[in-house]
Amino acid sequence: MIHIGGDSSTVSLNSDKNRNKSRKEHQARKENMRNYSQQHASELASKRTENRQTQTDSAYHEISTHMTVIERLTKIYMDSISELPTHTCETCDKLVYPSKSHNFKVTNKVREKFATLGHCIEIGAVLHVCERCRNNMLRGSMSPQVKYNNLSLPPVPREIECLTPAEIRLVSQVKLFMKVFLLCGGRGQPAVKGLAIHFPLKVNEVIEQLQLPNSLSDSDLVVVAEDFAGIDKVTELQVCTNKVYDALVWLKTHNPLYANIQITPKEDIDKSVLEDVSRITIQQFHPQIEPQQQVAFGIYTEISPGISILRASTHQGNPMYSPNCGTQCTAMSAAFLAFTFIESPLTWTTATLDQVMICGNKFYTKKLPAAGHQYLNTDDVSGVIPNVFQSQDINLEIVMSALPDYQGHLNKLSGKYMRLKGKLQQFIESEHQFAIFTSSNYSMGIYKDLEHLYFFDSHCRGSKGGTAQRGTACILKYNLNVAASKLSTLINRNIQITNIPDDIVQREIILAFTITPFVCSTLNDPEAGLLGAETDDEEDEHQVLPDAQSPRSPAPKKRRLHGCLCDDDDQLKLNAEDEPAPEIELILNTINGNGVSDCVIGQDEFIEPPAQEIIELHRTAGRPLSTNTHKYLDLLAFPHLFPHGVNGLNQEREIKITPPDYYQQRLMSADKRFSGNIHISIYATAQNDKVCLIFR
């Protein structure tokens, strides 16, 4: 029997209904949670997008603002660096920038300060001043750089303003020595190391040795070779003696520091005295036959310490040597070596030197056919020179092994080349005695003994061995201790041509030199005897001279003028005794350009420059001067900046000024005489360094 209880079934149905309801509620809650999560995520994404956009806009705004600041600062910077110091301070006279210039209202206290400076100064109600002067006057004081504090300078007169640096050097009473370096391997600005040394100079030496005002004329320039006692260095200066004289006269009258110099006014001078002072002539040179010069016959004449000269009667371009005139310098140099082998040049006279040139001319005539070209090389003159001193035959041979040791380039060619001074010193210290120097279309003879070096030059030379229009051949005798430096200076000055091509290869060829050593020996050469026997009646008429006298007789009426060989039959005729004009030199080089391709000597007489002998100036510099005992060294060292000799660094002043303040005022002054002078800038740096060392 089955018994079903009604109460238990009812309970089961109710539990199922509750379970289903709970499940539905749970699913609804899950769906609501899912919907909420999606909605919240969407809101968050939207907010993030909005925030990101806001941040982007803010960053863009910041960048725009930053770019505006950069542009504004760049404009300010460009305006600042383009600003020039165009305003002048009315109190210290310094140039200032417009942005640093101020208008200052003058008070009674400031007027009293100006009155204490001892000047009758008219001051307006407002002054345009620099920032430093304004700050000082606001504090009731005066800047030491005020121009009324004995810092103002009178204008530079015309007599001083026109001087060149070389002429200023001659009129200065103090010579400065400063060790200056160029920074950045010589490409940067100059820098000074150490102190400035002041050496006293005597202006009266310039007046005496330049013979002022006796030497004044209408000529333009002179070349002055300045050297100092005890210093083996010669400095060549091109100066105008008229300007130097006018400047010294003005300084003696207006500068109290020059009151002790002795100079004679022009009106008290006989201008006919000392007319032979050497000058560079500017006017055009017109070739003409000159009369024989009146030269001193006899022994050597001293021209400077350690240097003497012996002059011949003529030079190689004289018509008496026709038809060879102007081309035989190598042969004459070889003859000089042969004569020195027999008798030392120390005992020679002018007559002996004339015989050397005559023998060299004959030797050239003999060697010319075998050489095959008009201008002989050093190897062409090797061989026998007959009838030396009308008695012996001398054989010349080149020392080929030593030839590479004596080659180099003249000073006009810049760079690391072997220089003449060193090669001359090398020859002096060697065992060789005889040599021929060749360079730039020239040949000269060199002979050395135990005490002297003799330099033979057959070209047209003046009284001191320089180039001249109306000169003679000569021998220069040098003491061995000064021979290398002095002779190299003379050779570089005499033979360096002015028109040098830009091509470096051609420059090296033109400016190359060779010192060719020779050995000499006596030799009885039959061929040499034939040469001595060969004579030409016409040649003897012009060249054979009595032994007792030199060739001073007038040239024959019928003169043969030498010229240059051309490609056609035309000939450019020149005076054989005078030097050609510079413009003629260019024509000759153009016409005869292919005639010297195989010859180092080239056209000898056609390229000599205009006359420019040297006036030697021997200076005696005393012991260095002390800045503690000599107050006006800057005024004596820079007469072109302080022509009136007042208001230097150590001038008495109401307001004391330090060297840095003094030189700052000078270099920044509206007066351009200081800012445009590099020497005073370097000198100021040295003086300021000295002050720093004292107070360190």
Q: Share the mean pLDDT of the chain.
A: 77
Structure tokens belonging to residue 373: 């070209």
- Hey, what's the torsion of the CAs at 605, 609, 613, 614, to 10 degrees? -120
Residue 4 maps to a domain: no
Q: Taking a C-beta distance cutoff of 8 angstroms, is the pair 660, 668 a contact?
A: no
Q: Taking a C-beta distance cutoff of 8 angstroms, is the pair 663, 687 a contact?
A: yes
pLDDT (0 to 100) of residue 613: 55
H/E stretch holding 242: helix 241-254
Q: What pLDDT band is residue 58 in, cutting at 50, 70 and 90? A: low
Q: Three-state DSSP class for 500?
A: coil
Q: What pLDDT band is residue 7 in, cutting at 50, 70 and 90? A: low
- Give yes or no: residues 560 and 660 share one domain: no
- Give yes or no: residues 672 and 553 share one domain: no
Is residue 96 over pLDDT 60? yes
- For 352-387, the three-class secondary structure string (H helix, E strand, C coil) is HHHHHHHHHHHHHHHHHHHHCCCCCCHHHHCEEEEE
Chain segment 391-437, per-residue pLDDT in tens: 788 999 999 888 888 988 887 776 667 888 899 999 999 999 999 99
The DSSP call for residue 390 is: T
Q: Which bin fits 230, alpha (ψ -120 to 50), beta or left (φ > 0)?
A: left
Across 135-149, 168-182, 228-242, 257-271, least confident range: 257-271
Is residue 65 over pLDDT 90? no
Residue 669 maps to a domain: yes
Among 580, 615, 650, where does a domain finish? 615
Is residue 539 over pLDDT 80? no
pLDDT (0 to 100) of residue 169: 92
Q: What pLDDT band is residue 501 in, cutting at 50, 70 and 90? A: confident
Determine what percent of the chain is predicted with pLDDT higher than 90.
Answer: 32
Q: Taking a C-beta distance cutoff of 8 angstroms, is the pair 178, 624 a contact?
A: no
Q: What pLDDT band is residue 660 in, cutting at 50, 70 and 90? A: very high
Cα–Cα separations (whole angstroms), residue 662 to 152, 376, 687:
12, 66, 11
Q: What pLDDT band is residue 374 in, cutting at 50, 70 and 90? A: confident
Residue 174 maps to a domain: yes
- Give yes or no: residues 625 and 581 share one domain: no
Is residue 39 over pLDDT 70? yes
- Give yes or no: residues 416 and 430 share one domain: yes
Among 561, 590, 615, where does a domain finish? 615
- Give yes or no: residues 379 and 404 share one domain: yes
Residue 42 maps to a domain: no
Most confident of 414-428, 621-635, 637-651: 637-651
Buried b (16+ CB within 10 A) or exposed e, 346-380: eebebbbbbbbbbbbbbbbbbbbeebeebbbbbeb
Average pLDDT over residues 75-99: 88
Among 615, 645, 670, where does a domain finish? 615
pLDDT (0 to 100) of residue 6: 52
Q: Between 453 and 321, whose confidence is greater?
A: 453
- Give yes or no: residues 632 and 676 share one domain: yes
Structure tokens belonging to residue 693: 């060392």
The amino acid at 430:
S
Q: What is the DSSP string of 200-220?
A: E--HHHHHHHTTTTTT-SS--
- Give yes or no: residues 439 and 486 share one domain: yes
Single pTM value for the model: 0.47
Average pLDDT over residues 528-549: 37
pLDDT (0 to 100) of residue 220: 61
pLDDT (0 to 100) of residue 61: 64
pLDDT (0 to 100) of residue 649: 93
Is residue 626 over pLDDT 50? yes
Q: Which domain holds residue 668?
A: 164-268+621-695
Q: What pLDDT band is residue 511 in, cutting at 50, 70 and 90? A: confident
Structure tokens belonging to residue 518: 């020779």
Is residue 546 over pLDDT 50? no
Q: In whole angstroms, what is the distance from residue 410 CA to residue 418 CA?
A: 8
Q: Between 634 and 692, whose confidence is greater?
A: 634
Q: Between 542 and 74, whose confidence is greater?
A: 74
Is residue 341 over pLDDT 70? yes
Structure tokens belonging to residue 91: 């109190």
- Give yes or no: residues 312 and 456 share one domain: yes
Strand-strand pairing, 301-304 and 452-461: unpaired
Prior bond to 144 cis, omega within 30? no
Residue 194 maps to a domain: yes
Is residue 306 over pLDDT 60? yes
Q: How many domains does the chain have?
A: 4
Chain segment 144-169, per-residue pLDDT in tens: 999 999 999 999 999 999 999 999 99
Q: What pLDDT band is residue 60 in, cutting at 50, 70 and 90? A: low
Residue 400 maps to a domain: yes
The DSSP call for residue 448 is: E
Average pLDDT over residues 195-200: 91
- Give yes or no: residues 234 and 114 share one domain: no
pLDDT (0 to 100) of residue 283: 32
Q: What is the DSSP string of 415-446?
A: SS---HHHHHHHHHHSS--EEEEEETTEEEEE
H/E stretch holding 45: helix 6-81
- Give yes or no: residues 590 and 667 share one domain: no
Across 136-140, 276-280, 455-459, 662-666, least confident range: 276-280
Residue 423 maps to a domain: yes
Q: What pLDDT band is residue 695 in, cutting at 50, 70 and 90? A: confident
Q: What are phi and psi of 325, to 5 degrees?
A: -60, 135
Is residue 607 over pLDDT 50? no
Chain segment 165-181, per-residue pLDDT in tens: 999 999 999 999 998 88
H/E stretch holding 188: none
- Give yes or no: residues 543 and 671 share one domain: no
Question: Whats the size of the chain, residue-wise?
Answer: 696
Residue 260 maps to a domain: yes
- Give yes or no: residues 584 and 637 share one domain: no
Is residue 646 over pLDDT 90? yes
Across 127-136, 194-203, 491-500, 615-624, least confident range: 491-500
pLDDT (0 to 100) of residue 8: 57
